[in-house]
Chains A and B, each alone.
Chain A
Amino acid sequence: MQHTLTFSSLFEYDTNKTGITIPLKLTHGNRQTTLLAKLDTGSSFCIFRRERGEALGLEIEHGYLQRIALADGFSFAVYRHDVTISALGFELDVMVYFAADYAFSREVLGQQGWLRQMRIAIVDYEGKLYISKYSD
């Protein structure tokens, strides 16, 4: 049985770089910044560095505290905040998480808040990411 999906946009990423790197913009109030994040289908949440949240004017510890499990059995703390994400031609108001620890250095787009609102298909060999919003 074959399945056919159609998408409204195509994003071509650099396969010479590690992971799938996505350019995006985070906005909170009147403060905004662009950045590069990794698409991470294995991450339950969208997670960003603590300092990025601080630059956006967020009081990190005022958010809801959540612990995130890692593959090695350890976990780390993050705080949930409301922001607007613009990425790959789509913008939405979502809850994302900022690391509690300054040493946390990864920034990822994960399931809740982003992936779940989209439909995507990846042809990694060609560096192609097809995307539509879920409701299309």
Chain B
Amino acid sequence: MSQTLKAIYRDGVIIPQAPCDLADEEEIEITISKPLSKEPIKNVRTVPMIDLTFETKWLEEHGKEYIGQWVALSQNKLISHGTNAVEVYNEAIALGFDSPFLHKIESEEDLPFGGW
């Protein structure tokens, strides 16, 4: 049976922070994991909302023609496409689009999403 308890490490010794149900001299195995530290509050800046309405509509209308490929779009215009994301992105940049919408079109794109 396993137990989980908090401990601190000091001068080479692991010190439990709560009583543990062990006999003296009993041998145990220890797995060490660090608790997730609280993320500091970031500097969050206010910016305009990103609108991808045109890109979303293009995917609905034309996506099936490019299954398995990466596409770079700007609004409802296809800039570049292919199987290599970096090449597709670089082509869009070279054509003067500094923030292209980059998307891989999957055959099972509409499957329900399980999350984690």
Binding site for B on A (CB under 8 A): 9, 11, 14, 18-19, 23-25, 31-36, 38, 40-44, 49, 51-52, 54-55, 68, 70-71, 86-94, 105-106, 108, 110, 112-113, 116-118, 133-135
**Pairwise interchain contact B99-A33, C-beta atoms closer than 8 A:** yes
Chain A contacts for B98, CB-based, 8 A = 32
**Pairwise interchain contact B47-A23, C-beta atoms closer than 8 A:** no
B85 to chain A, nearest CB (A): 3
Q: List 16 A-B contacts (CB under 8 A).
A: A18-B112, A24-B50, A34-B101, A38-B115, A42-B116, A44-B116, A49-B104, A86-B47, A88-B49, A89-B49, A91-B44, A113-B39, A117-B39, A117-B41, A117-B44, A134-B44
Q: Does B29 contact A (CB under 8 A)?
A: no
Which size class do B's interface residues fall under? 35 or more
B38 to chain A, nearest CB (A): 8
Binding site for A on B (CB under 8 A): 36, 39, 41-52, 55-56, 70, 85-86, 88-90, 93, 98-104, 106, 110-116
A112 to chain B, nearest CB (A): 6
**Pairwise interchain contact B102-A34, C-beta atoms closer than 8 A:** yes
